[in-house]
Structure 1
Amino acid sequence: MAGLFSKRDLNVLALSDRDDLLALLRGALDAAGPDSVERPGLERAVALVAGAPAMSPAELRGRWARERIEAAGVEVKADSVVAIKALRKAEPELSLLAAVNLTKDAAAVER
């Protein structure tokens, strides 16, 4: 099946492991004894992760794209040819359409 899909068929999927991380931290907290020196740190970590807002897929994609564009020293602007070029240079497998959409997501994300 090699070659069956072209670059234009590439989709960017945004994943968040926030819920898995929270479950892992809660499990560690449950396993820590009441007098454990780790307990205060685990309690703080659970509170931080639980209080962090869940991001939408567009926000996750935007942050991912923004990091790559800014790493190239380019200003993040929607539909910017320079930003699109920087993103495609950083991630050569991206199609032009995907890069254009990602620059829009990146521009919509507040830093």
Structure 2
Amino acid sequence: MMSNCMGVTGMFGKRETAVVVLRDADAIAESIRAALADASEAERPGLERAAALVAAAAEGGDAELRARWVRRRLADAGYEGELDAVAAVKSLRQAEPGLSLVAAVQLTKEAAAR
């Protein structure tokens, strides 16, 4: 899971936005395993599928997580173009108004590379 952007002030007083990556897949996986222990036969296939989806989502590193977040934010904003285009940067900044230009460029480039 990725959090929303948080504003931080740099050493020169310029406001930058940091994108904080939060991983809670372990806690979710543990909850699903606990549910599986007490699951009925009817519930088991759905929980097993959920466990597989959580495991797959947890496999990627931070860069992959950020790339998925960028794609999702752009899709939610209705953007359908190339990820490394100026229009993608503009759409991402409109979707996340606190995101700096530098951060938006970096995030879209990173997403395009994945």
Query: What TM-score, normalized by structure 2, do the two folds share?
Result: 0.72
Paired residue type of 1:29: L
Cα 1:62/1:24, change in 2 over 3 Å: same
Check conservation: 1:7, 1:94, Cα contact below 8 A: no
Alignment match, 1:26: 33
Paired residue type of 2:15: K
Alignment match, 1:75: 81
Which runs of 5 or more residues in structure 2 are unaligned? 1-6
Give the drift of 1:98.
0.6
| Aligned length in residues | 102
Residues in 2 aligned to 1:4 and 1:29: alpha-carbon distance in whole angstroms: 41
Higher relative CO (Cα under 8 Å, sequence separation at least 6) belongs to 1
Residues in 2 aligned to 1:4 and 1:16: alpha-carbon distance in whole angstroms: 21
* Structure 2 residue 107 is matched with structure 1 residue 108: no
Give the drift of 1:55.
1.2
Query: What TM-score, normalized by structure 1, do the two folds share?
Result: 0.74
Alignment match, 1:95: 100
- CA RMSD for the aligned pairs? 2.4
Which runs of 5 or more residues in structure 1 are unaligned? none
Deviations along 1:64-91, one digit per CA (max 9) or x if unpaired, are 112222433241332x221111111111
Paired residue type of 2:23: S
Q: How much identity, in percent, do the aligned residues show?
A: 50
Paired residue type of 1:63: R
Structure in which a larger fraction of residues adopt strand: 2
Larger Rg: 1
